[in-house]
Amino acid sequence: MAFKLAIIGRPNVGKSTLFNRLAGRRLAIVDDTPGVTRDRRSHPARLQDLKFEVIDTAGLESAAAPTLEGRMRAQTEQAIDEADIALFMIDARAGVMPDDATFANLLRRSGKPVVLVANKMDVNAARSGVLDAWELGLGDPVEVSAEHGLGMSDLRDAIVEALGEDRALAEEPEEAVLTTDEITVGEDIEPDSEEEAVYDSSKPLRIAIVGRPNVGKSTLINALLGEERMLTGPEAGITRDSISVDWQWRGRKIKLFDTAGMRRKARVQEKLEKLSVSDGLRAVRFAEVVIVVFDATIPFEKQDLQIADLIIREGRAPVIAFNKWDLIEDRQETLAELHEKTARLLPQVRGLQAVPISAETGRGFDKLMEAVEKTHRTWNSRISTGRLNRWLEGATGQHPPPAVAGRRLKVKYITQIKTRPPGFVVSCSRPEAMPQSYVRYLMNGLRETFNLYGVPIRVALRTSD
């Protein structure tokens, strides 16, 4: 049996936003159809490899109490009652409010496992709220942005820790964390402002370097920058904001963002695994291209795949560096094998750039930086509506959309509304009925025709009327 999770917190902290992220947008759309009564109190949800039920607290309307406060309290108590685990959410931007303490007490008394979640970490001012969170006596908060999907790996780990692996992973875990390019139905992708659309190579290219511990991140950063003193950068506790280093490669301006590796030596006592993901994330937030470092001698560990998957889901431009290439003997054979594995284990982005390097000898740096720039350009691509629709006509002619329930689906029009990464809106009849396999056919065609390899792409289906 999957476990049940409740998201608890005062209004406006971001509970529904997280609920929608966990339960999936598709579901929300189905449920919002007028005339469909929503009687289900919990919804199937997913967080990476975890499958569970999330309780729709807003749906607990039976709770009768005269005041709003009373109703909230009753709803909360009911949700806690039904749940196996509670996520207690605070708004890190607003800090800890008196109501938060009330909820924290309720939760503590329930005796249920609780994970404290500090939301809205995408906002700069959120740092102090996290420090306040300690007052609640619920331990170390997991820092997330429900809106932007940041911190989801940490949240997953915290849930597993609070519930115990046996309970959290009761269902068969999947082989690896594999998500596909994001397909949204009926929901708009936020359009870019026009100025972002043009590739401008005079602006600094923003890079972060991430990877699990010991893959060679610090060695790589120091070799790239050629200066040891970076290791003595700001220490944890003094400032935890991400910092960047300005640098150049063949005249191209680069901003390299701080990662765990750069600071690791300053705080050995911390749990390295956790550090690499959460600290790396802060850097990822600011980066355009993210170099994911793998150890070529121990490639494709679960954590490697999780990190790569996260970068892709964040919509960043990923480049894989297979480091420690100096230790590999059968280089040609190994490279072919690693490329095959990349395609198989990270299928969510076709044509991922993956480059062998040695951080220690400096081999492969030029190829790596070429891959970074190429991926960055693709990530910035903009394709004209005319070209897109000429292609669409051919693609739908060659392989028309299927019929569903006796009626043929129609795909009418495509336009790119976003870059960084490229995002497209496809107008069609009955978007909700369009099979994923057909959307995937279109995505593959888009990649091939417009050379969109190596970056995540987004496609949203919209009703045409």
Report the C-alpha gap between 383 and 252 in whole angstroms.
Answer: 25
User: Should residue 145 be labelled a site residue for ligand GDP when binding is judged by CB under 6 A?
Assistant: yes
Closest CA to 280 of 265, 302, 261: 261
Give CA separation, 366 vs 250, 327, 373, 380, 394, in Å. Answer: 9, 19, 11, 21, 39
Q: Which residue from 31, 99, 122, 196 is in contact with ligand GDP, where contact means CB under 6 A? A: 122
Residue with tokens 């420090």: 131
Q: Which is nearer to ligand GDP, 4 or 15 (CB)?
A: 15
Q: Which residue from 79, 138, 159, 215 is in contact with ligand GDP, where contact means CB under 6 A? A: 215
**Stretch 347-406 residues interacting with ligand GDP (CB under 6 A):** 358-360
Give CA separation, 96 vs 13, 113, 116, 256, 282, in Å. Answer: 11, 20, 12, 34, 22
The size of the interface with ligand GDP (CB under 6 A), counted in residues, is 33
Query: Is 317 within any annotated ligand binding site?
Result: no
Q: Which is nearer to ligand GDP, 263 or 418 (CB)?
A: 263
Residue 304, amino acid: D
Q: Tokens for 281?
A: 């994330």
Query: Of 48-56, 140-148, 159-167, 446-454, which part binds ligand GDP (CB under 6 A)?
Result: 140-148
User: Should residue 147 be labelled a site residue for ligand GDP when binding is judged by CB under 6 A?
Assistant: yes
Q: Which residue from 15, 206, 282, 458 is in contact with ligand GDP, where contact means CB under 6 A? A: 15
Site string for ligand GDP, 436-455 (x = CB under 6 A): --------------------
User: Should residue 12 be labelled a site residue for ligand GDP when binding is judged by CB under 6 A?
Assistant: yes
Report the C-alpha gap between 331 and 284 in whole angstroms.
Answer: 31
Q: In sequence order, which residues have a C-beta less than 8 Å from that of residue 287 and are 6 or more positions away? A: 206, 207, 208, 257, 316
Q: Which residue from 113, 261, 280, 299 is in contact with ligand GDP, where contact means CB under 6 A? A: 261
CB of residue 122 vs ligand GDP: minimum separation in angstroms? 5
User: Should residue 11 be labelled a site residue for ligand GDP when binding is judged by CB under 6 A?
Assistant: yes
Let me know how long the chain is: 465
Report the C-alpha gap between 371 and 93 in whole angstroms.
Answer: 37
Residue with tokens 């910035």: 380
Q: Which is nearer to ligand GDP, 80 or 457 (CB)?
A: 80
What is the SS3 assignment for 69-97?
HHHHHHHHHHHHHHCCEEEEEEECCCCCC
User: Should residue 13 be labelled a site residue for ligand GDP when binding is judged by CB under 6 A?
Assistant: yes
Query: Of 142-150, 169-177, 243-251, 404-412, which part binds ligand GDP (CB under 6 A)?
Result: 142-150
Give CA separation, 226 vs 247, 283, 363, in Å. Answer: 10, 20, 14
Q: Which is nearer to ligand GDP, 31 or 147 (CB)?
A: 147
Q: Which is nearer to ligand GDP, 356 or 422 (CB)?
A: 356
Q: Which residue from 263, 324, 376, 462 is in contact with ligand GDP, where contact means CB under 6 A? A: 324
**Stretch 326-355 residues interacting with ligand GDP (CB under 6 A):** 326-327
CB of residue 255 vs ligand GDP: minimum separation in angstroms? 19
User: Should residue 123 be labelled a site residue for ligand GDP when binding is judged by CB under 6 A?
Assistant: yes
Whether the CB-CB separation of 344 and 336 falls below 8 Å is answered with no
CB of residue 213 vs ligand GDP: minimum separation in angstroms? 4
Q: Which is nearer to ligand GDP, 12 or 67 (CB)?
A: 12
User: Should residue 219 be labelled a site residue for ligand GDP when binding is judged by CB under 6 A?
Assistant: yes
Whether the CB-CB separation of 330 and 338 falls below 8 Å is answered with no
Query: Is 13 within any annotated ligand binding site?
Result: yes
User: Should residue 214 be labelled a site residue for ligand GDP when binding is judged by CB under 6 A?
Assistant: yes
Q: Which residue from 48, 119, 378, 381 is in contact with ligand GDP, where contact means CB under 6 A? A: 119
Query: Of 129-137, 209-217, 403-411, 435-443, which part binds ligand GDP (CB under 6 A)?
Result: 209-217
CB of residue 336 vs ligand GDP: minimum separation in angstroms? 20
How does strand 42-47 pair with strand 50-55?
antiparallel
Where residue 124 falls (left for φ over 0; alpha for ψ -120 to 50; beta otherwise) is: alpha
Query: Is 258 within any annotated ligand binding site?
Result: yes
Q: In sequence order, which residues have a C-beta less than 8 Å from that of residue 88 and are 6 or more positions away? A: 8, 9, 103, 104, 107, 114, 115, 116, 117, 136, 138
Q: In sequence order, which residues have a C-beta less than 8 Å from that of residue 361 and are 6 or more positions away? A: 326
Query: Of 24-32, 143-151, 176-184, 446-454, which part binds ligand GDP (CB under 6 A)?
Result: 143-151
Q: Tokens for 217?
A: 């991140």
User: Should residue 216 be labelled a site residue for ligand GDP when binding is judged by CB under 6 A?
Assistant: yes
How does strand 423-428 pair with strand 458-463?
parallel
How does strand 411-418 pair with strand 407-408?
unpaired
Q: In sequence order, which residues have a C-beta less than 8 Å from that of residue 247 and are 6 or more positions away? A: 224, 225, 253, 254, 255, 256
User: Should residue 120 be labelled a site residue for ligand GDP when binding is judged by CB under 6 A?
Assistant: yes
Known binding residues for GTP: 9-16, 56-60, 119-122, 211-218, 258-262, 323-326
Query: Which residues would be at the binding site for ligand GDP (CB under 6 A)?
Result: 9, 11-17, 119-120, 122-123, 145-148, 211, 213-219, 261, 264, 323-324, 326-327, 358-360
